[in-house]
Structures are given as structure tokens and as C-alpha cells.
């Protein structure tokens, strides 16, 4: 419950101040029933006072150009076409930088070249950095939230061809959340950290919205930094390559689907480190230098990731559906099928490896030696950037959907409603343009 937002909304609707005070006090007592009416009214008065002081301020530091499009309405964070569009607008605001792999390439991580020391024979080395947010629906299951977000951020470093060196964590809990949540979350983070020998070295712990947000909601992120001497970024994908995929049992998304759809026994299948160990094996083997690119099947499932790779590498990718289906962990696959969830549009947390045909025997042999199932699922061709799905010898459309597959009952309801996408895109783009203009104004002021 966001007290500040509630008060602002009521003022915008024309509700009288006394009525707002009454309603706010009632909302406060719903969460803090032992505090008493006097405290609730005193807090309501303070909220109203702060809202009145902070309303109506003008200028670059107090205003932004609203798009009129909500995050959920546009699908931001839902790993579909709206989310991808918003991220490309973010890349436009950031602009071209000195990064070796920048945000405009929509890769799993970014990369910056290290300066060479001048030692003879020393090759180029890159600092790889990434950050992942915990799954929002795992707020009531902090250990799972911490475990899965840490595994996700390490995956994003590994698939760039880098060895992770350190982890950092940021965790926010709403005002009424039990302090134990931050401990259980950190235990989940460090379970992965300890097993993979990548230390958690720093972080931040805060309340969501300070005193203004009541409830127990937990949110946070984990980031990682690594070093690579040979990068396997998406732009390395080339026509003539083949696409391989390891078995996927899912992570935070599959755990969430299982918990909220009555399949708690499936959660245990997501608790593994096979992806990370597969990457460790590849990095330790000479075959790594034959691999052109790697990624994890997360953003909007295979549909989203293949599309993004094709866009970044300017090529066409063909995927064989029958070969993909066999790589979904059986219990996970049965759950998805029974819930009518499209497994191609949901995060499976499998490893995608793109390499020339000559590298395939070395890659598959290495995976077999560590008991990780892998198979060739597709190929890369010349042509207009995009992807196609082969089913029974027929090419089908394989573009991302507006949102990832609806994998909980709530998502199935929310997924039904959306406005005109082109109209929303234009409004979002205008807001991004305004943000760029503001950025340039402030930079100009500071430089002068």
C-alpha cells in the first residue's frame, strides 16, 4: 500500500482533504492495527503535508514528460514486444558509449575493454558486468528469490565467455516486512555464491518507499562482474552456424508457475547448477574459442531470445520445434502442458550455444562428459533478421508475443488486456525523446 501515491491520486480526483485523511488513516490501520487511531491520523496528516509541499513543482528536476502508458499496460518486465521496445528506447537514451558490448546490442551483459599492461603476448581482456532483478512473485519465498536471481546473474556473465569474479546484492523490503526476509534472501544468494566460489562482496539493504509503502513486499537484484579474454556475445552469431541447446528445468519463472498453480513439487527441479557447471566446463576447454555466441533461454523464452539474437547479429534463425521439446525437463514439461503454458515463450533457463558445424562434436562430447544433455535445435542463415519455427517440415512464425507466456492465473487475466500497440509505442517514444533532450540540457548546463 503506497500512502503517498494514494494521497496524490485522491487529490487529483478532487477528494476533500478531510476525507483523504479519514481514508488514509483507515488504510494505515489495515496494516498497523496495533498502532491505534491517533497514530494513524497523525501519520495521515504528515503524508498529506508532504504531498502538498511536493505537488506543483516545475522544471527539469521536478517534472518529466508522461507517456500516459502504464508499465503493465505496455508489458515492461513481461519479456515480450513491449518490453523489448522499451529496452531499445533505454539504449537510445544511454547513447553510444566506449563499451565493447553496449546496451544497444541487447546482450546478456555489457563489456568494457581493459587497458593492456604492455606485456608481450598479452591479448585483449574485458570486464563483464550484469545485474538481474529477482522474480517479483517470489516475495514470500525469499530463499528461492535469492537463489534464482543469483544463478541468473552468473549465467549472464558466463554466456559472455567470462569467469565471474564477484557478486553484489541490493534488497528492498516494505515497511511491515519481517527482517528475517533479508536473511533468508541472502542465504539463497550465498548458497549459489559458495557452491560456485564467487564471493558476494557488497550490497545495499533498504525499505521500499521508506515510510510510505506499507506491507511485506520484497524486491531486489543481484549483479555480477567477470573477466573475459574471448567474448561470446550475440553479435558473433553468423550464417552457417548451428544452434545447440542444453536441457532446461527453469528457474524463478518456472518455480513461480509451480507455486501459484498447485505444483509445488516441481520447484525442486529448478534447484540445480547444471547450467553454470556446463559453462565452467566450456570455459576450461579449448572448444570455447570455436563458439561464436552463447545466451540463456530467459527473455520471453526461446521466442524472445532467438528473435533478439537474429536482430543483433543481422541474420535469420530456424528452430526445429521437435528437437526443443525433448530438452524440457520432463516434470516441468508435464506441468506446462497441463496448464496450457506455451513452453517456447517462457524462461527455461537452458543454455544456447551458437557455433560452426565443425565445433559441434567437441561441444556435445564435453557436455556428455559432465552429464549435461544437449542437442542441435536449429541453424543460422542469411536473410532478413528474424526467426522461424519448423513444425512437421513447415515454417511457422516465431516472433515474440506482446508478453511472455502467461504462466500464473493472474497473468492469464492480465494478458488479455492491452491497448493499441502502435499508439502506445509512439507515446513511449515521445517520452524517451523528452528524456534525451533533458539529459542534453543538464549536461550542457554542467559543462558551461
pLDDT of residue 106: 78
Residue given cell 493499441 in the structure block: 420
**Is the per-residue pLDDT at 410 higher than 90?**
no
| Each residue's pLDDT tens digit, 247-262 | 999 999 999 999 999 9
Closest C-alpha to 105, from 312, 352, 324 = 312
192-195: long-range pairs with CB below 8 Å, 24+: 192/147, 192/150, 192/151, 192/154, 192/273, 192/276, 193/150, 193/167, 195/273
Q: What radius of gyration do the chain's Cα atoms show?
A: 24
Average pLDDT estimate for 142-147? 97
Cα–Cα dist 145/191, whole Å: 12
**Is the per-residue pLDDT at 183 higher than 90?**
yes
pLDDT of residue 119: 58
pLDDT of residue 255: 96
**Is the per-residue pLDDT at 413 higher than 90?**
no
Concatenating the DSSP letter of every residue in 358-390 gives: GGHHHHHHHHHHTT--EEEEEEEESSSSEEEEE
Q: And the C-alpha cell for 54?
A: 511536493
Instruction: Tell which wins on pLDDT, 123 or 60.
Output: 60
Query: 10 Å Cβ neighbour count for 67?
Result: 18
**Is the per-residue pLDDT at 237 higher than 80?**
yes
| Each residue's pLDDT tens digit, 10-19 | 999 999 999 9
What element of type H or E holds 8?
helix 3-12
Helix H segments across 296-383?
Answer: 301-313, 321-325, 330-338, 360-369
Cα–Cα dist 96/92, whole Å: 8
Beta bridge partners of 226: 128, 164
Mean pLDDT value across the chain: 93
Average pLDDT estimate for 25-32? 94
| Each residue's pLDDT tens digit, 59-70 | 999 999 999 999
Query: pTM for the whole thing?
Result: 0.92
Average pLDDT estimate for 29-37? 92
**Is the per-residue pLDDT at 42 higher than 60?**
yes
Average pLDDT estimate for 163-179? 96
411: pLDDT confidence band, cut at 50, 70 and 90? confident
Cα–Cα dist 440/112, whole Å: 24
| Each residue's pLDDT tens digit, 185-234 | 999 999 999 999 999 999 999 999 999 999 999 999 999 999 999 999 89
Instruction: Look up residue 77 and give its DSSP letter.
Output: T
pLDDT of residue 83: 85
pLDDT of residue 123: 72
pLDDT over 70, % of the chain: 98
30: pLDDT confidence band, cut at 50, 70 and 90? very high
131: pLDDT confidence band, cut at 50, 70 and 90? very high
| Each residue's pLDDT tens digit, 267-317 | 999 999 999 999 999 999 999 999 999 999 987 889 989 988 999 999 999
Average pLDDT estimate for 381-409? 88
pLDDT of residue 122: 59
Mean pLDDT check: name the lowest of 5-14, 153-162, 404-413: 404-413
Domains and CATH numbers, the chain: 3-53 (no CATH), 63-105+422-448 (no CATH), 108-231 (3.30.1330.10), 232-402 (3.90.650.10)
pLDDT over 90, % of the chain: 80
Amino acid at each position: 500500500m503506497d500512502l503517498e501515491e494514494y494521497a496524490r491520486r485522491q487529490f487529483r480526483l478532487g477528494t476533500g482533504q478531510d476525507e483523504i485523511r479519514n481514508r488514509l488513516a483507515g488504510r494505515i490501520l489495515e496494516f498497523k492495527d496495533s498502532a491505534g487511531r491517533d497514530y494513524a491520523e497523525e501519520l495521515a496528516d504528515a503524508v498529506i503535508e508532504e504531498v502538498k509541499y511536493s505537488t506543483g513543482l516545475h522544471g527539469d528536476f521536478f517534472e518529466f514528460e508522461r507517456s500516459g502508458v502504464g508499465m503493465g499496460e505496455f508489458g515492461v518486465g513481461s519479456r515480450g514486444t513491449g518490453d523489448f521496445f522499451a529496452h531499445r528506447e533505454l539504449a537510445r537514451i544511454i547513447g553510444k558509449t566506449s563499451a565493447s558490448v553496449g546496451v544497444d546490442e541487447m546482450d546478456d551483459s555489457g563489456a568494457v575493454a581493459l587497458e593492456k599492461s604492455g606485456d608481450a603476448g598479452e591479448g585483449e581482456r574485458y570486464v563483464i558486468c550484469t545485474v538481474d532483478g529477482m522474480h517479483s512473485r517470489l516475495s514470500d519465498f525469499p530463499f528461492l528469490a535469492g537463489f534464482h536471481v543469483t544463478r541468473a546473474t552468473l549465467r549472464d556473465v558466463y554466456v559472455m565467455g567470462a569467469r565471474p569474479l564477484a557478486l553484489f546484492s541490493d534488497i528492498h523490503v516494505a515497511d511491515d516486512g519481517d527482517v528475517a526476509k533479508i536473511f533468508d534472501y541472502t542465504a539463497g544468494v550465498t548458497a549459489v555464491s559458495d557452491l560456485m566460489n564467487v564471493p558476494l562482496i557488497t550490497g545495499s539493504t533498504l525499505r521500499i518507499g521508506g515510510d510510505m509503502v506499507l506491507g511485506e513486499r520484497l524486491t531486489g537484484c543481484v549483479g555480477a562482474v567477470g573477466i573475459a579474454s574471448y567474448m561470446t556475445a550475440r553479435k558473433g552469431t553468423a550464417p552457417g552456424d548451428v544452434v545447440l541447446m542444453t536441457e532446461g528445468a527453469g528457474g524463478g519463472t518456472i518455480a513461480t508457475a509451480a507455486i501459484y498453480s498447485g505444483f509445488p513439487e516441481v520447484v525442486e527441479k529448478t534447484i540445480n547448477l547444471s547450467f553454470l557447471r556446463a559453462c565452467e566446463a566450456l570455459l576450461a576447454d579449448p572448444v570455447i574459442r570455436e563458439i561464436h555466441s552463447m545466451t540463456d533461454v530467459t527473455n520471453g523464452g526461446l521466442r524472445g531470445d532467438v528473435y533478439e539474437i537474429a536482430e543483433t547479429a543481422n541474420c535469420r534463425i530456424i528452430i526445429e520445434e521437435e528437437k526443443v521439446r525433448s530438452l524440457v525437463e520432463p516434470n516441468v514439461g508435464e506441468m506446462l502442458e497441463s496448464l496450457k503454458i506455451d513452453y517456447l515463450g517462457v524462461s527455461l533457463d537452458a543454455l544456447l550455444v551458437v557455433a560452426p558445424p565443425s565445433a559441434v562434436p567437441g561441444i556435445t562430447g564435453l557436455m556428455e562428459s559432465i552429464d549435461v544433455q544437449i542437442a542441435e535445435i536449429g541453424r543460422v542463415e542469411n536473410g532478413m533478421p528474424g526467426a522461424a519455427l519448423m513444425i512437421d517440415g513447415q515454417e511457422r512464425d516465431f516472433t515474440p508475443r506482446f508478453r511472455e507466456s502467461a504462466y500464473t492465473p493472474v497473468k492469464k487475466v492480465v494478458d488479455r488486456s492491452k491497448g493499441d500497440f502502435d499508439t502506445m509505442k509512439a507515446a513511449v517514444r515521445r517520452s524517451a525523446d523528452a528524456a534525451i533532450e533533458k539529459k542534453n540540457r543538464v549536461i550542457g548546463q554542467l559543462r558551461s
